[in-house]
Structure 1
């Protein structure tokens, strides 16, 4: 498993709700997506690749929790399947119109609150000089 930037307790604090049974999986998936959005961001890390600056640590935790909250509100599982087609029928099977890729950092739809948390910490847009 990769780096995970938030805990079930932080998710509870963020949402005001008890963490879902699959909180560990959701936190890991959202952390991977935040990593994808930050491929060009520059910040100090320890030997395990975790941020060391408390502002960055908090921003990543906030972004992960906000992304989980956003996906919960929109019914998105985070697999990317939700936005693949603009029309789907089940019988007899019919699909039409692939939707365009998400125009977000790293191709990940972070949702507004997660993106703002990363921008406030100076992590987006990530630019390598």
Structure 2
């Protein structure tokens, strides 16, 4: 398992509800999404690749919790399968293609609140010159 930036307790505090069943798996997958979004971000880490600056630790935990909250709200289980539909029409109802929306680096369907947490921490946009 890769780095996980938030705990079920932090997720419960973020959402104001008890952590869902399988929270550890959701947090691990959301942490992978955050890692993918930060491919070009620069910040100090320890020997395990975990951030060392308390502000970055907090921002990554917030971003992971926001990503989980977003996935739970959209019905995604962290696999990326939910919400990957093309244009669909049923009678007068027409739904556009979510894949046309803005994506983070690595083509991650990043939660807007996660994006804002990472941006406020100075991690996005992560541009290497």
State the 1:101 CA deviation.
7.8
Cα gap change, 1:50/1:84 in structure 2, threshold over 3 Å: closer, same or farther?
same
State the 1:105 CA deviation.
2.5
| Structure 2 counterpart SS, 1:39 | coil
For this pair of structures, how many residues does the alignment match? 121
Q: TM-score, normalised by structure 1?
A: 0.85
State the 1:51 CA deviation.
0.2
Query: Residue in 2 aligned with 1:113?
Result: 113
State the 1:68 CA deviation.
0.5
Q: Which 4+ stretches in 1 moved above 6 angstroms?
A: none
| Structure 1 counterpart SS, 2:106 | helix
Query: Residue in 2 aligned with 1:49?
Result: 49
Equivalence map 1:40-119=2 (5 Å): 40-86=40-86, 99-100=99-100, 103-119=103-119
Distance in 2 (CA, whole Å) between partners of 1:99 and 1:30 is: 18
Query: Residue in 2 aligned with 1:14?
Result: 14
Q: TM-score, normalised by structure 2?
A: 0.85
State the 1:21 CA deviation.
1.7
| Structure 1 counterpart SS, 2:86 | strand
State the 1:109 CA deviation.
1.2
Structure 2 unaligned residues grouped into runs of 5+:
89-96
Query: Residue in 1 aligned with 2:24?
Result: 24
Structure 1 unaligned residues grouped into runs of 5+:
89-96
State the 1:79 CA deviation.
1.6
The answer to whether the Cα contact below 8 Å between 2:103 and 2:110 also exists between their aligned partners in 1 is no
The answer to whether the Cα contact below 8 Å between 1:67 and 1:111 also exists between their aligned partners in 2 is yes
